Chains A and B, each alone.
Chain A
Amino acid sequence: MKARSTTTTAVLKINDEDHAVAFPVHHTLLEVLREECGLTGTKHGCELGECGACAVLVDGEPVLSCLMLAAEAGDRNIETIEGLQRNNDLHPLQTAFADLGATQCGYCIPGILMLAKALLEREPDPSEGQIREALSGNLCRCTGYNRIVLAVQWAAAMARGDDWRPPPEAFHSTSLPQASA
């Protein structure tokens, strides 16, 4: 096996900003984003394409950054979690996730938000089944997923200018049945 690897350089276009970086050619986009560009919002949970935590968008398509060489990302349009907000305004997905408690520890959330963004761009009014399928490559151990699905529906409504909100029982206890004697 080779002891030393080749170093390469690239200008990566990330969230519409150019990053000129030098990195070993065997380094993945995940490693270069986090370690060369300082964009640590993209997380990792397995580095084998099994959990979705490292998902980013490349030319609008969701991609597992742990399975893509940074060298392959040179002239492409990369979007990461850091680019989701516009100036200081949250994207509707971010607002919905924060307000609905769809994020608990928050570690898997950047990847999920990027998948959700790609979904909403393709399908502004997704069904529950479409949301579950679009996000099904992303594992979360905190939330139990249902609240995330609801948050995506809420965000989709916000983005469409629809005033639909999640039902009251998403925020409060379901009404207790009248206690029997």
Chain B
Amino acid sequence: MLRLPPIDYRSPQRLEEVIATLASENVRLVAGGTDLWPNMKRRHQLADTVVSLMSVPGLRGIEHGKDGVKIGALTSLADIVRDDKMRALWPAFTRAVASISSPPLRSMATIGGNLCVDTRCTYYNQTEEWRRSIDYCLKEKGTICWVATKSPRCWAHSASDSAPILCALDAQVKLIGPDGERVIPVSALFRDDGIDYLCKKSDEILTELLIPAGSDQDHCRSAFWKLRRRGSIDFAVLSVAAAVWTDTKNTVTRATVYLGAVGSSPVSIDVESLLVGQPLNEDLIKQVAQRAQKAATPMDNTDFAAAWRGKMANNYTHAALNEIAGLPVRCAPPKHGLTVV
């Protein structure tokens, strides 16, 4: 059996205590554990002490208010998927969360954890023994990024399905650290670097998520499309999250498109310059899709041929915007995650 290395484990009930513990050497934070424990079992993430957030009260639950919906960072993905009001208001968000990994994992994993999930790479998400045989990589202990050996940076890809859709929906996160709390847009949480992929400080804790209200009044329609080999379990090799706000005349007032898994952070596509002030139509969608293909940097570090994934950024963006525009959708994605249980 693959097992965890020995650790000290703490599960304090006060957030301050968790934050204080994080100040020590070689400490890692855990919530649902579905990202950290596999990484520690493979030993590409190590710690002397692991401090859990799970005993801290008040960090879970979904609260629908007039400002929008507040989701506690420890809310399980399963609880989000089962929230009827959420599904009615932000179906694309529910769809994204419902597509994460598998049902038993979703009942353990937290939304905060999914936003902060480590970047992934098939040269990195391997056991200690395997990584020894390639002399490690830039992301951990090594000197070379095997994905792009001449590159000075790490190309591990963003692996969160909730991140692109929350970026697209203008969501915000609350971070609490030793110096107090701050609220930042989800899109500002990420940095385009495979190693240092979060703008959160190591002793800051993501405690809450807010999806601002008003979306439905402003006729926001959103879509989430995910490409992967199988209908469950797999991480996205490409995801497309799109949101389009229109006025009463069906003119676009605001639009966002983010790609997941084809960069070290969610990749923002510049669509406003194309779409705002016009009604969404087939020709504009085509242009957005071409921009998406250009912006995607799929690398040979996950499943499927990288070049084809780049091409799929076009098709999937096209499909997502067609869905929003109510136009026919032709792509045949693998059957997945659309049934809620």
Q: When A and B assemble into the complex, do they touch directly, with CB atoms less than 8 Å apart? A: yes
- A: residues with CB less than 8 A from B are 1-6, 24-28, 30-31, 44, 46-50, 52, 55, 61-64, 66-69, 71-72, 115, 119, 122-123, 126-127, 129-130, 132-139
User: If A2-B8, A4-B6, A67-B38 touch, does A62 touch B103 (CB 8 Å cutoff)?
Assistant: yes
How many whole Å from B150's CB to the nearest CB in chain A? Answer: 32
Contact across chains for B341 and A1 when beta carbons are under 8 A apart: no
The contact of A6 among B1, B4, B9, B37, by CB within 8 Å, is B9
A-B contact pairs, 22 of them (CB 8 A): A1-B6, A1-B46, A1-B48, A2-B5, A2-B6, A3-B6, A28-B3, A28-B4, A48-B2, A48-B38, A49-B37, A52-B104, A62-B104, A68-B33, A115-B103, A115-B104, A122-B341, A129-B339, A133-B337, A134-B103, A137-B232, A137-B233
Residue tally, chain B, CB below 8 Å to A: 37
A64 to B214, CA, bound (A): 38
A169 to B143, CA, bound (A): 59
Contact across chains for A130 and B339 when beta carbons are under 8 A apart: yes
A85 to B164, CA, bound (A): 44
Contact across chains for A5 and B7 when beta carbons are under 8 A apart: yes
User: If A1-B48, A49-B34, A72-B54 touch, does A137 touch B8 (CB 8 Å cutoff)?
Assistant: no
Contact across chains for B107 and A63 when beta carbons are under 8 A apart: yes
Contact across chains for A26 and B105 when beta carbons are under 8 A apart: no
The contact of B103 among A2, A27, A66, A136, by CB within 8 Å, is A136
A4 to B48, CA, bound (A): 11
How many whole Å from A27's CB to the nearest CB in chain B? Answer: 7
- CB of B321 closer than 8 Å to a CB of A: no
How many whole Å from B251's CB to the nearest CB in chain A? Answer: 38
Contact across chains for B104 and A123 when beta carbons are under 8 A apart: no
Interface-central residue, B7, B52, B104, B341, by most chain A CB under 10 Å: B104
Chain B, residue nearest A134 (CB): B341
Contact across chains for B103 and A69 when beta carbons are under 8 A apart: no
- CB of B253 closer than 8 Å to a CB of A: no
Contact across chains for B7 and A63 when beta carbons are under 8 A apart: no
The contact of A132 among B11, B105, B339, by CB within 8 Å, is B339
Within 8 A of A (CB), among B73-89: 78
A130 to B339, CA, bound (A): 6
Contact across chains for A133 and B107 when beta carbons are under 8 A apart: no
By a CB distance below 8 angstroms, the chain A residues around B8 are 2, 5-6, 25
How many whole Å from B70's CB to the nearest CB in chain A? Answer: 23
How many whole Å from B303's CB to the nearest CB in chain A? Answer: 13
- CB of B21 closer than 8 Å to a CB of A: no
A92 to B339, CA, bound (A): 24
Contact across chains for B7 and A67 when beta carbons are under 8 A apart: no
- CB of B231 closer than 8 Å to a CB of A: yes
Contact across chains for A136 and B107 when beta carbons are under 8 A apart: no
How many whole Å from B33's CB to the nearest CB in chain A? Answer: 5
Contact across chains for A67 and B341 when beta carbons are under 8 A apart: no
The contact of B105 among A49, A69, A119, A129, by CB within 8 Å, is A49
A123 to B337, CA, bound (A): 17
Contact across chains for A133 and B339 when beta carbons are under 8 A apart: yes
- CB of B306 closer than 8 Å to a CB of A: no
How many whole Å from A89's CB to the nearest CB in chain B? Answer: 26
By a CB distance below 8 angstroms, the chain B residues around A134 are 103, 341
